[in-house]
Structure 1
Amino acid sequence: MPMITTADAPARQPAPWWFNLAGQLLQPWVRIRRDPAEPATLLQAGVPVCYVIERDGFSDALILQRACREAGLPSPMQALSGTRRRRSVFALTRRDGWLFGRNRKRAASEPLRQLVHSLEGQPELDVQIVPVSIYVGRAPSRDSGWFRVLFSENWVMVGRFGRLLALLLNGRDTVVHFSAPVSLRQMLDESGTIAPERFARKVARVLRTHFHRIRAAVIGPDLSHKRTVVDSVLNAEPVRAAIVAAAAKEKISHAKAWRKANKLLLEIAADYSHPVVRSASFLLSNFWNKLYDGIAMHHFDKARAAAPGHEVIYVPCHRSHADYLLMSYQLHVSGVVVPHIAAGVNLNLPVIGPILRRGGAFFLRRSFKGNALYSVVFNEYVAQLIDRGVPMEYFIEGGRSRTGRLLAPRAGMLVMTVRAFLRAPRRPVLFQPVYIGYEKLMEGKSYAGELSGQAKEKESLIGLLRGLKVLRQRYGHVALNFGEPIELTPLLDAASSDWRAAGADPDVKPEWLNSVTDRLAEQIQININRAADVNPINLLALALLATPKHAMAEADLLTQLELGKAMLEELPYSDRVTLTPMNPAAIIAYGEQMGWIQRVQHPLGDVLTVGAEQAVLLSYFRNNVLHLNATAAWVACCFLNNRRMSRASVLRLGQIIYPFIQGELFLPWDADGFVAQLEATIDFFVRRGLLESTNDGRSLERSPGQDDGAFQLKVIARSLIQAFERYYITIAALAKNGPHTMSGGELESACTLTAQRLSLLNELSAPEFFDKALFRGFIQKLRERRIVWTDADGKLDYDSALEGMVRDARVILSREVRHSILKITPGGERETATEEPVDAVPVQALPDDASAADLHRRHVDAEQHEHERRSGDDRRGPTPDA
Structure 2
Amino acid sequence: MQQQLPLHRTSDPLVRGPAWLNLLGALLRPWIRIRREPKNPQELLPDDGVPTVYVVERYGLSDTLILEQACREADLPSPYEAAARLPIKRTRAIIALTPRPSLFRSRPHPSRSETLSQLAELISGNRQDDIRLVPVSIFVGRAPDRQSGWFRVLFAENWVVVGRFRRLLAILLNGRDTIVQFSAPVSLRQTLDEQGEVALERSVRKLSRVLRVHFRLTRTTIIGADLSHRRTVVDAVVDADSVRQTIAAVATKENIREEQARRRARGYALEIAADYSHTVVRSISFMLIALWNKLYDGVVMHHFDKLRAVAPGHEVIYVPCHRSHVDYLLLSYTLYQNGLVPPHIAAGVNLNLPGLGSILRRGGAFFLRRSFKSNALYSAVFTEYVSQLFARGVALEYFIEGGRSRTGRLLTPRSGMLAMTLRSFLRESRRPVMFQPVYFGYEKLMEGKSYIGELSGKPKEKESLLGLLRAFRVLRQHYGKVTINFGEPIELAPLLDEVAPAWRASTGVPEAKPEWLPAAVDTLAERIQSNINRAVDVNPINLLALALLAMPKHAMAEADLLAQIGLCKDLLVALPFGDRMTITDKNPAQIIAYGESMQWIRRVEHPLGDVLVVEGDNSVLLSYFRNNVQHVFVAAAWIACCFLNNRRMSRATLLRIGRLVYPFIRAELFLPWSEDEFRERLQVTLDFFVKRGLLETDADGRVIERAPGQSDSAFQLRVMSHSLLQAVERYYITLALLVSNGRHTLSAAELENLCSLTAQRLSLLHQLNAPEFFDRSLFRGFIQKLRERRVIWADENNKLDFDDGLEDLVKESKVILSRDIRHGILKLTAELPMAGGDGDARRNDEAA
Instruction: Classify the TM-score, shorter chain.
Output: 0.7 to 0.9
1:98-113 equivalences in 2 (<5 Å): none
What residue in structure 2 maps to residue 407 of structure 1? 411
What residue in structure 2 maps to residue 792 of structure 1? 796
CA contact (8 A) 2:546 2:626 kept: yes
**Aligned in 2, Cα 1:166/1:437: closer, same or farther, shift over 3 Å?**
same
CA–CA distance in structure 2, aligned partners of residues 654 and 135 of structure 1: 55
What residue in structure 1 maps to residue 819 of structure 2? 815
**Aligned in 2, Cα 1:228/1:822: closer, same or farther, shift over 3 Å?**
same
SS at match of 1:433: strand
**Aligned in 2, Cα 1:593/1:66: closer, same or farther, shift over 3 Å?**
closer
CA contact (8 A) 1:397 1:406 kept: yes
1:615-634 equivalences in 2 (<5 Å): 615-634=619-638
SS at match of 2:300: strand
CA–CA distance in structure 2, aligned partners of residues 653 and 65 of structure 1: 69
**Aligned in 2, Cα 1:475/1:251: closer, same or farther, shift over 3 Å?**
same
CA–CA distance in structure 1, aligned partners of residues 454 and 720 of structure 2: 28
**Aligned in 2, Cα 1:213/1:289: closer, same or farther, shift over 3 Å?**
closer
CA contact (8 A) 2:33 2:175 kept: no
1:466-485 equivalences in 2 (<5 Å): 466-485=470-489
CA–CA distance in structure 2, aligned partners of residues 514 and 557 of structure 1: 47
The Cα shift of 1:625 comes to: 0.3
Partner residue of 1:372 out of 369, 373, 376: 376
1:656 is aligned with what amino acid?
L
CA–CA distance in structure 1, aligned partners of residues 819 and 64 of structure 2: 90
CA–CA distance in structure 2, aligned partners of residues 522 and 34 of structure 1: 42
SS at match of 2:697: strand
CA contact (8 A) 1:733 1:825 kept: yes
**Aligned in 2, Cα 1:469/1:158: closer, same or farther, shift over 3 Å?**
farther
SS at match of 2:452: helix
1:616 is aligned with what amino acid?
V
Partner residue of 1:661 out of 647, 665, 674: 665
**Aligned in 2, Cα 1:377/1:809: closer, same or farther, shift over 3 Å?**
same
CA contact (8 A) 2:221 2:341 kept: no
Deviations 1:125-148 (A, max 9, x none): xxxxxxxx9987455654333442
What residue in structure 2 maps to residue 334 of structure 1? 338
Is 2:434 the partner of 1:430?
yes
CA–CA distance in structure 1, aligned partners of residues 230 and 758 of structure 2: 53
Q: Give the percent of matched residue pairs that are identical in Structure 1 and Structure 2.
A: 65
The Cα shift of 1:504 comes to: 3.9
What residue in structure 2 maps to residue 348 of structure 1? 352
1:25-64 equivalences in 2 (<5 Å): none
What residue in structure 2 maps to residue 186 of structure 1? none
SS at match of 2:677: helix
Q: Rg larger in 1 or in 2?
A: 1
What residue in structure 2 maps to residue 670 of structure 1? 674
SS at match of 2:420: helix
Is 2:738 the partner of 1:727?
no
CA–CA distance in structure 1, aligned partners of residues 252 and 342 of structure 2: 40
SS at match of 2:612: strand
**Aligned in 2, Cα 1:477/1:190: closer, same or farther, shift over 3 Å?**
closer
CA contact (8 A) 2:143 2:338 kept: no
The two structures, once aligned, show a CA RMSD in angstroms of 4.3
The Cα shift of 1:612 comes to: 2.9
The Cα shift of 1:424 comes to: 1.9
Partner residue of 1:276 out of 266, 280, 300: 280
**Aligned in 2, Cα 1:516/1:90: closer, same or farther, shift over 3 Å?**
farther
The Cα shift of 1:505 comes to: 3.0
Deviations 1:199-255 (A, max 9, x none): xxxxxx999999978965774431355155223222221122222222222222222
SS at match of 1:435: strand
**Aligned in 2, Cα 1:472/1:405: closer, same or farther, shift over 3 Å?**
same
Deviations 1:277-299 (A, max 9, x none): 11111111110011011111111
**Aligned in 2, Cα 1:146/1:589: closer, same or farther, shift over 3 Å?**
farther
CA–CA distance in structure 2, aligned partners of residues 676 and 207 of structure 1: 49
Partner residue of 2:235 out of 228, 231, 239: 231
Is 2:257 the partner of 1:243?
no
CA–CA distance in structure 1, aligned partners of residues 554 and 507 of structure 2: 57
Partner residue of 2:711 out of 707, 712, 719: 707
What residue in structure 2 maps to residue 130 of structure 1? none
SS at match of 2:556: strand
**How many pairs are equivalent?**
734
CA–CA distance in structure 1, aligned partners of residues 609 and 732 of structure 2: 39
What residue in structure 2 maps to residue 383 of structure 1? 387
1:727-806 equivalences in 2 (<5 Å): 727-806=731-810
SS at match of 1:484: coil
1:397 is aligned with what amino acid?
E
**Aligned in 2, Cα 1:672/1:585: closer, same or farther, shift over 3 Å?**
same
Partner residue of 2:611 out of 607, 611, 614: 607
2:386 is aligned with what amino acid?
V
Once the two structures are overlaid, the 10-residue window that deviates more, 606-615 or 817-826, is: 817-826
**Aligned in 2, Cα 1:283/1:757: closer, same or farther, shift over 3 Å?**
same
CA contact (8 A) 1:752 1:771 kept: yes
1:485 is aligned with what amino acid?
P
CA contact (8 A) 2:401 2:410 kept: yes
What residue in structure 1 maps to residue 304 of structure 2? 300
CA contact (8 A) 2:540 2:594 kept: yes
The Cα shift of 1:456 comes to: 0.2
CA contact (8 A) 1:64 1:176 kept: no
CA contact (8 A) 1:140 1:152 kept: no
The TM-score with structure 1 as length reference comes to 0.76
What residue in structure 2 maps to residue 697 of structure 1? 701
The Cα shift of 1:151 comes to: 3.8
SS at match of 1:480: strand
The Cα shift of 1:535 comes to: 0.2
CA–CA distance in structure 1, aligned partners of residues 580 and 641 of structure 2: 27
CA–CA distance in structure 2, aligned partners of residues 253 and 576 of structure 1: 57
The TM-score with structure 2 as length reference comes to 0.79
Is 2:500 the partner of 1:496?
yes
1:754 is aligned with what amino acid?
T
The Cα shift of 1:42 comes to: 9.3
The Cα shift of 1:582 comes to: 0.5
CA contact (8 A) 1:736 1:827 kept: no
1:306 is aligned with what amino acid?
V
Is 2:159 the partner of 1:145?
no
What residue in structure 1 maps to residue 225 of structure 2? 221
CA–CA distance in structure 2, aligned partners of residues 788 and 565 of structure 1: 40
1:737 is aligned with what amino acid?
N
Is 2:244 the partner of 1:265?
no
The Cα shift of 1:354 comes to: 1.2
2:379 is aligned with what amino acid?
S
CA–CA distance in structure 2, aligned partners of residues 396 and 218 of structure 1: 25
Partner residue of 1:598 out of 596, 602, 623: 602
2:757 is aligned with what amino acid?
L
What residue in structure 1 maps to residue 189 of structure 2? none
SS at match of 1:720: helix
What residue in structure 1 maps to residue 19 of structure 2? none
CA–CA distance in structure 2, aligned partners of residues 295 and 30 of structure 1: 31
CA contact (8 A) 2:143 2:336 kept: no
**Aligned in 2, Cα 1:210/1:565: closer, same or farther, shift over 3 Å?**
closer
What residue in structure 1 maps to residue 73 of structure 2? none
The Cα shift of 1:627 comes to: 0.3
The Cα shift of 1:700 comes to: 1.1
**Aligned in 2, Cα 1:134/1:816: closer, same or farther, shift over 3 Å?**
closer
CA contact (8 A) 1:53 1:89 kept: no
Is 2:520 the partner of 1:516?
yes
CA contact (8 A) 1:136 1:166 kept: yes
CA contact (8 A) 1:53 1:90 kept: no
The Cα shift of 1:508 comes to: 3.5
CA contact (8 A) 1:691 1:701 kept: yes
The Cα shift of 1:157 comes to: 8.4
SS at match of 2:291: helix
2:457 is aligned with what amino acid?
G
1:634 is aligned with what amino acid?
W
Is 2:592 the partner of 1:588?
yes
Deviations 1:568-613 (A, max 9, x none): 1111111211111111000000000001000001111110000131
2:661 is aligned with what amino acid?
I
